[in-house]
Structure 1
Amino acid sequence: MRFTRHRRLMAPVVVAAAVGLTLTACTGDTANDETATGDCGPYETYGAFDDGTEVDVYGTILDPEAELLNQSWADFENCTGIDIVYEGSDQYEEQLNVRIEGGNPPDLGITPQPGLIARLAQQGDLLPAPEAVADNVAEYWSDDWAAYGTVDGTLYGAPLMANIKGWIWYSPTLFEENGWAVPETLDELAALTDEIRDSGAVDKPWCVGFASGVATGWPGTDWVEDFVLRMSGPEVYDQWTTHEIPFNDAAIAEAFDSVGEFIRTDDNVNGGLGDVRSIATTDFGDAGLPIMDNACAMHHQASFYEGFWPEGTTVAEDGDVWAFMLPGTEAGANAVTGGGEIVAAFADTDEVVAVQTYLSSPEWANSRVSLGGVISANTGLDPENAGSELLKASVALLQDPNTTFRFDGSDVMPAAVGSGTFWTGMVDWIGGKSTADTLDFIEASWPQE
């Protein structure tokens, strides 16, 4: 599930030969002169287009992120003459299907679910990625990330932004005062949970919230996905998300039960909020806030949770709050889950190819990340452009060649499961339904071939 400083531009990406664009320097008789940087040099390789040339982009990104998205490509627009018309929707998948069926798809779609990319590609709705995009993906994205825009061996789109899941938020001061050490393994995290519970220093070790309006349940899926990857490894994780093994496989049951040992007991949750039953009705955005009052010690949530802390909160190793990555079964394990978007095309005009190529480049990644609040897994991203220490740490994880990355499992699965029964199943499970019955319920909902 996705929710959606100083500027440093990378060297221009040479795309002309692959895209087939006419290379023309920015001219002085258009809006191309009026750019934020005053330099059109980095954009010459994308070509020059007549004023009024539009590319329609559709996605799930809403204000205020949508405003920053528009800022991120302003120089590109001014220098190329292309007007990128972005529209965001909280009903993206439904409305995208309506537009496709009506013969009016967008030029480009920014899609946060690889599962939806796969369905659209298999239906013949998407165009294979242009050569220039494929070249950027090969150079600037890991194989793990490239795979999420690839269907049956064909690349359809490049990744855009990213977020890292599995961060455990905590108060450094509270940990230091009580002599609690950041754990390096899941066993150590279990021991720490017991230590915090028995200390009496806080109400409960954990604070948790699964509520998110019509998307209630997704924070619970993140817990399970993190544990499947760490306990059973990437191969089993991939088999699970693609249904090569059933949802009620023993490895998935083990992950559910392990999560339950942390958050399905009243002794461990829900600090400052209630008991286990309060998890289903506590909004995920509010769930971590009791840490500020020392009512709980830890909260499991993604990198984007940094934006949920009250204004004036210092997020740093020696600040009001900080985060450590959920550890693995062994110390030093570097497996993480996360989310992001894939940019894929429904049209193949020169201007669409130019925009799609730009969005796959390190130049765009640095432009957007420098505006704050997000990161990218593009290896051409300068980590110093990230807007906070937590985001810099997230970039470091993504750029580490030893990191095993896996996309949010519920976004990879078919929508009927990933954003359907998996979500509702987590609510039933946290409410007391057995692991076996929950997994059987979700497995029964998997679409038949």
Structure 2
Amino acid sequence: MRSRVNRRLIAGIAAAGVGVLALTACTGDIADDGGEVDCAPYEQYGTFDGANVTIAGTILDLEADNLVKSWSDFEKCTGIKINYQGTSEFEAQIAVLAEGGNAPDIGIVPQPGLLARLAAGGWLIPASKAVEDNVDEWWSEDWKKYGTIDGTFYAAPLMASIKGYVWYSPSEFEDKGYEIPTTLDELTSLSEKIAAEGDHKPWCVGLESGEATGWPGTDWIEDFVLRQAGADVYDQWVTHEIPFNDPAIVKAFDSVGEYLKNPDMVNGGIGDVSTQISEAFQTAGLPILDGECSLHHQASFYETFWNPNGDEGNVVAPDGDVFAFLLPPVNVDDPQAVTGGGEFPVAFRDAEEVEAVRAYLSSDTWANNRVSLGGVISANKGLDSDNASSELLKQSIEILQDPDTTFRFDGSDLMPGAVGADSFWKGIVAWVGGQSTQQTVDAIEASWPTS
């Protein structure tokens, strides 16, 4: 899940009396620096006189600004004006808009489960040949599969993220002699050591994300299922070949509970265990910068939030203010296994200009343009990792491009929306709030759709 949430949500959607979404609107104007543009890379998309394409998604603030900049040259060369609107309520409201005929031309969907729901509603336009050709050239078969529903290819991947990073302060680790853990047992030992020293709680955690509150906790569970039970069990879990209350899932919950439900472990610099539910995920890791906690579990995209005002004051580097290591495996010699996420631009309007935009977004040109602006990565095989804005993001790109990496898409994003975007999120909140593991997994299992 990559919902970008901020209370800077300022406008309503401009659609025939529908005011259900609070939006941050961006247009290509912010990227217009008046410079010369080389249009050669954009000739293949054609030219359009006065065409307009609307896009909506969950991407907000600095990332939304950079998203808009990433297509500025495309706009100038093709004549297509793109209007992007971001909202934290996109996932909750996009089906309502689609059913009412008020959907944007393109929706950047962050969940394959939601994509499947929209396809089932009959609202999506299958991807054009140009989009599919790009995906076949620049993306792995696994990534293409996530945009394919019942044999119909609807959407190419866009950006990506690697989940399961543990953010930390390199200077604190050096000063206190902490070692990067190489196994989950070593991570437990490190956490217990920090807690015993008494300076602060080792972990800082934030689960708040508007209507999506709870999703950061699902990332913890997914990372532990993949590492403890393996990829095959993970696949069986997200497809419901095994029930949500299977013993392997119970074990993952209990293992994560040793951190999230333990008052000795959380919530450094913020408050007691309960504050995880009210603390926004964007700000939850910042106490590391003040020495008020040592560890924060969050995806590669969290790099953006270390400099919330868009400056470069906090350096993300092995010798910088903050860096991250991947949540370790059970055993040192286990293969590299990571969970991750991404987005998929789906189309609600059948038009040449809409498919031209989607073709560009699925290209290696777009991937390199956007990653060069900083803060994000992509699994596009045509992406040059040297364009990444930090050592961590470069490493993340190389992990995604490594054929030996065991990669699995975020589990909650693959599950039916009634589970992955509802009962699982809510279950995490109830569980952190005191509900038992068994009650939690039983309730989520009961919510799984029967058809």
Query: Normalization by structure 1: what TM-score?
Result: 0.87
1: CA distance, partners of 2:210 / 2:351:
39
1: CA distance, partners of 2:102 / 2:377:
31
2: CA distance, partners of 1:285 / 1:81:
36
2: CA distance, partners of 1:44 / 1:293:
50
1: CA distance, partners of 2:203 / 2:93:
38
Tell me, yes or no, if structure 1 residue 394 matches structure 2 residue 396.
Answer: yes
Does the CA contact (< 8 Å) of 2:204 and 2:270 recur in 1?
Answer: yes
Going from structure 1 to structure 2, the CA distance change for 1:196 and 1:212 (only over 3 Å counts) comes to same
- 1:82 aligned to 65, 80, 83, which one? 80
Going from structure 1 to structure 2, the CA distance change for 1:282 and 1:350 (only over 3 Å counts) comes to closer
Q: Which runs of 5+ in 1 are unaligned?
A: 5-33
Give 1:104 shift: 4.4
Letter aligned with residue 97 of structure 1:
A
Alignment partner, residue 246 of structure 2: 249
Alignment partner, residue 322 of structure 2: 321
2: CA distance, partners of 1:282 / 1:90:
16
Alignment partner, residue 71 of structure 2: 73
Does the CA contact (< 8 Å) of 2:194 and 2:200 recur in 1?
Answer: no
2: CA distance, partners of 1:177 / 1:64:
33
Does the CA contact (< 8 Å) of 1:128 and 1:156 recur in 2?
Answer: yes
2: CA distance, partners of 1:265 / 1:96:
37
Alignment partner, residue 27 of structure 1: none
Going from structure 1 to structure 2, the CA distance change for 1:377 and 1:399 (only over 3 Å counts) comes to same
- 1:354 aligned to 353, 356, 380, which one? 356
Q: Which 10-residue stretch deviates more, 357-366 or 105-114?
A: 105-114
Does the CA contact (< 8 Å) of 1:35 and 1:74 recur in 2?
Answer: no
Question: What secondary structure, in the 3-state scheme, does the structure 1 residue paired with 2:394 have?
Answer: helix
Going from structure 1 to structure 2, the CA distance change for 1:118 and 1:277 (only over 3 Å counts) comes to same
1: CA distance, partners of 2:445 / 2:305:
34
1: CA distance, partners of 2:111 / 2:264:
36
Going from structure 1 to structure 2, the CA distance change for 1:287 and 1:354 (only over 3 Å counts) comes to closer
Q: Which 10-residue stretch deviates more, 153-162 or 209-218?
A: 209-218
1: CA distance, partners of 2:82 / 2:115:
22
Alignment partner, residue 411 of structure 1: 413
Going from structure 1 to structure 2, the CA distance change for 1:301 and 1:129 (only over 3 Å counts) comes to same
Per-residue CA distance 1:375-394 (angstroms, 9 max, x = gap): 11111111122222222222
User: How many residues were matched structurally?
Assistant: 418
Going from structure 1 to structure 2, the CA distance change for 1:35 and 1:172 (only over 3 Å counts) comes to same
Does the CA contact (< 8 Å) of 1:144 and 1:406 recur in 2?
Answer: no
Q: Which runs of 5+ in 2 are unaligned?
A: 5-32
Letter aligned with residue 2 of structure 2:
R
2: CA distance, partners of 1:178 / 1:99:
53
Tell me, yes or no, if structure 1 residue 284 matches structure 2 residue 281.
Answer: yes
2: CA distance, partners of 1:230 / 1:388:
26
- 2:189 aligned to 175, 188, 191, which one? 191
Give 1:36 shift: 4.4
Per-residue CA distance 1:236-285 (angstroms, 9 max, x = gap): 22222222221111111011011112332222222233332332233323
1: CA distance, partners of 2:274 / 2:354:
49
RMSD: 2.1
Alignment partner, residue 20 of structure 1: none
Give 1:86 shift: 2.6
Question: What secondary structure, in the 3-state scheme, does the structure 2 residue paired with 1:287 have?
Answer: coil
Alignment partner, residue 343 of structure 2: 341
Give 1:227 shift: 0.7
Per-residue CA distance 1:366-411 (angstroms, 9 max, x = gap): 1111122221111111112222222222212212222222222222
Give 1:201 shift: 6.1
Does the CA contact (< 8 Å) of 1:160 and 1:343 recur in 2?
Answer: yes
Going from structure 1 to structure 2, the CA distance change for 1:445 and 1:131 (only over 3 Å counts) comes to same
Alignment partner, residue 19 of structure 1: none
Letter aligned with residue 376 of structure 2:
V
Tell me, yes or no, if structure 1 residue 2 matches structure 2 residue 6.
Answer: no
2: CA distance, partners of 1:216 / 1:156:
28
Going from structure 1 to structure 2, the CA distance change for 1:293 and 1:63 (only over 3 Å counts) comes to closer
Does the CA contact (< 8 Å) of 1:166 and 1:325 recur in 2?
Answer: yes
Give 1:213 shift: 3.4
Query: Normalization by structure 2: what TM-score?
Result: 0.87
Alignment partner, residue 170 of structure 1: 168
Give 1:144 shift: 2.6
**Alignment of structure 1 residues 50-449 onto 2, 5 Å:** 51-198=49-196, 200=197, 202-309=199-306, 312-331=313-332, 333-449=335-451
Question: What secondary structure, in the 3-state scheme, does the structure 2 residue paired with 1:182 have?
Answer: coil
Question: What secondary structure, in the 3-state scheme, does the structure 2 residue paired with 1:159 have?
Answer: coil
Going from structure 1 to structure 2, the CA distance change for 1:399 and 1:265 (only over 3 Å counts) comes to same
Going from structure 1 to structure 2, the CA distance change for 1:36 and 1:59 (only over 3 Å counts) comes to farther
Going from structure 1 to structure 2, the CA distance change for 1:350 and 1:216 (only over 3 Å counts) comes to closer
Letter aligned with residue 266 of structure 1:
P
Question: What secondary structure, in the 3-state scheme, does the structure 2 residue paired with 1:118 have?
Answer: helix
Question: What secondary structure, in the 3-state scheme, does the structure 1 residue paired with 2:75 have?
Answer: helix
